[in-house]
């Protein structure tokens, strides 16, 4: 077993969820069906598994002992999706459900000689990806309530990664938000976990402020990057990176100066790990000296999924911000 340092429970968050859950359970007890859950009740809506002749027979012959008064079905071996079709369908939309079938994963896994260790996170139950029981456990009904973000930590907090650690010290955490506020928006514990690969998820998450400072020694562009993620940007592993490309052109449109900044993790054999991601909240400032011939400056912020340099193709790459500013103040006599 691996060990994951710094696992912390958040009593406040757990409590909030607990209250939420209690309300929902009592709603269910009062006979109001829980959203997305097909309850095996008499009358009303028909349970999905009724179509299975075997179950119909079981229900017909011994309906009472099967429920035993607990409110849970007797057959713990049936696939979770039989009774929780909403969670099942929603979870299928998340990349987590297919984490061990993703082309990018398979490519890297094969290249590295198909190591078993990869599945500790990509498919602990050896299915196509993360499974229901990888989060909920195998204890069966009644399942213990999950505490956030501890339940995400085994896979999202590890050496070389700091999603959880940076979340703990983030404005989002201080505002009382948790992982689900952003990654599972909406009511009723949807299971449609969304990440940066989802269309539109990265829309508007970063902003760029561009100001200038004029001094006798020369002009400087002041760039401030800010983002809305509840943890460092990029969240997730070292492979992800955010690049800032700054380009200066002269009146004739020729590039006179160019700089690249990479935010994410780096590793060198001599210096070891180096973390350089964009912290949540306050953001990051970058100063760029202006070339004396520059008449326009362009700053572009790019989110990349693949490890490696900019020259490596990344079909999922997204431009977060693209701003151009004429340096009109320089031509004024």
Partner 1 sequence: MQERNLVRFLILIGVLLALLGSGDVSARWPTVSAQQLRAWLDAIDPPLILDVRGRADYRAGTIAGALDGGMDPRGYLADGNGGRLVLLLPEGADERVTDAWFARLANAGHRVWILEGGLAAWIEAGGTTEVPEFSYTRPGSVPFLIPRGLCEGGEPSQVFD
Tell me which residues touch partner 1 (CB under 8 A).
Answer: 108, 112, 117-118, 121, 155, 158-161, 171, 174-175, 209-215, 222, 224, 226, 228, 237-239, 259-262, 264-269, 274, 276, 279, 281-287, 306-310, 329
**Phi/psi at 56 (nearest 5 deg)?**
-60, -40
> Which residue carries 């009644």 as its tokens?
142
CB 183 within 8 A of CB 189: no
Task: Give which of ligand HEC, partner 1, none residue 146 binds (C-beta under 5 to 8 Å, depending on kind).
Answer: ligand HEC
Distance CA 46, CA 25 (A): 20
Nearer to partner 1, 76 or 316 (CB): 316
Nearer to partner 1, 58 or 210 (CB): 210
Q: How far is the CB of 246 from ligand HEC (least distance, A)?
A: 21
CB 331 within 8 A of CB 218: no
Nearer to partner 1, 142 or 326 (CB): 326
Q: How far is the CB of 288 from ligand HEC (least distance, A)?
A: 24
Name the residue whose CB lies closest to ligand HEC.
236
Task: Give which of ligand HEC, partner 1, none residue 261 binds (C-beta under 5 to 8 Å, depending on kind).
Answer: partner 1
Nearer to partner 1, 67 or 105 (CB): 105
Distance CA 217, CA 215 (A): 5
Task: Give which of partner 1, ligand HEC, none residue 329 binds (C-beta under 5 to 8 Å, depending on kind).
Answer: partner 1
CB 242 within 8 A of CB 279: no
SS3 sequence of 88-138: HHHHHCCHHHHCCCCHHHHHHHHHCCCCHHHHHHHCCCCCCCCCHHHHHCC
| Kind plus residue range of the DSSP H or E element containing 182 | helix 179-183
Q: How far is the CB of 121 from partner 1 (least distance, A)?
A: 7
Q: How far is the CB of 119 from partner 1 (least distance, A)?
A: 12
CB 150 within 8 A of CB 7: yes
Q: How far is the CB of 116 from partner 1 (least distance, A)?
A: 12
């Amino acid at each position: 077993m691996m060990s994951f340092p710094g696992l912390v429970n958040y009593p406040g968050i757990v409590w909030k969820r607990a209250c939420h859950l209690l309300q929902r359970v009592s709603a269910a007890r009062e006979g109001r069906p829980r959203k997305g859950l097909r309850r095996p009740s008499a009358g009303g809506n028909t349970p999905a598994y009724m179509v299975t002749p075997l179950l119909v027979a079981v229900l017909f012959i011994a309906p009472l002992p099967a429920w035993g008064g607990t409110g849970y079905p007797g057959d713990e071996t049936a696939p979770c999706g039989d009774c929780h079709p909403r969670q099942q369908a929603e979870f299928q939309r998340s990349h987590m459900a297919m984490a061990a079938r993703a082309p990018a994963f398979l490519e890297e896994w094969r290249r590295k000689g198909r190591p078993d260790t990869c599945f500790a996170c990509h498919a602990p139950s050896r299915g196509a990806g993360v499974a229901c029981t990888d989060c909920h456990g195998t204890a069966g009904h009644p399942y213990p309530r999950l505490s956030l973000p501890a339940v995400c930590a085994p896979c999202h907090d590890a050496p070389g990664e700091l999603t959880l650690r940076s979340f703990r010290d983030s404005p989002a955490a201080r505002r009382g938000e948790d992982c689900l506020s952003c990654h599972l928006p909406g009511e009723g514990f949807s299971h449609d976990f969304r990440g940066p690969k989802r269309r539109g998820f990265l829309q508007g998450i970063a902003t760029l402020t561009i100001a200038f400072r004029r001094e006798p020694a020369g002009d400087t562009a002041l760039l401030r990057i800010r983002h809305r993620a509840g943890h460092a940007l990029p969240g997730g592993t070292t492979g992800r990176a955010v690049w800032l490309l700054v380009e200066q052109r002269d009146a004739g449109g020729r590039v006179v100066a160019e700089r690249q900044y990479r935010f994410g993790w780096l590793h060198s054999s001599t210096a070891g790990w180096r973390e350089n991601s964009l912290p949540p909240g306050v953001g990051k400032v970058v100063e760029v000296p202006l070339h004396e011939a520059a008449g326009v400056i362009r700053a572009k912020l790019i989110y990349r999924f693949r490890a490696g340099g900019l020259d490596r193709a990344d079909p999922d790459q997204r431009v977060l911000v693209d701003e151009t500013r004429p340096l009109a103040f320089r031509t004024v006599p």
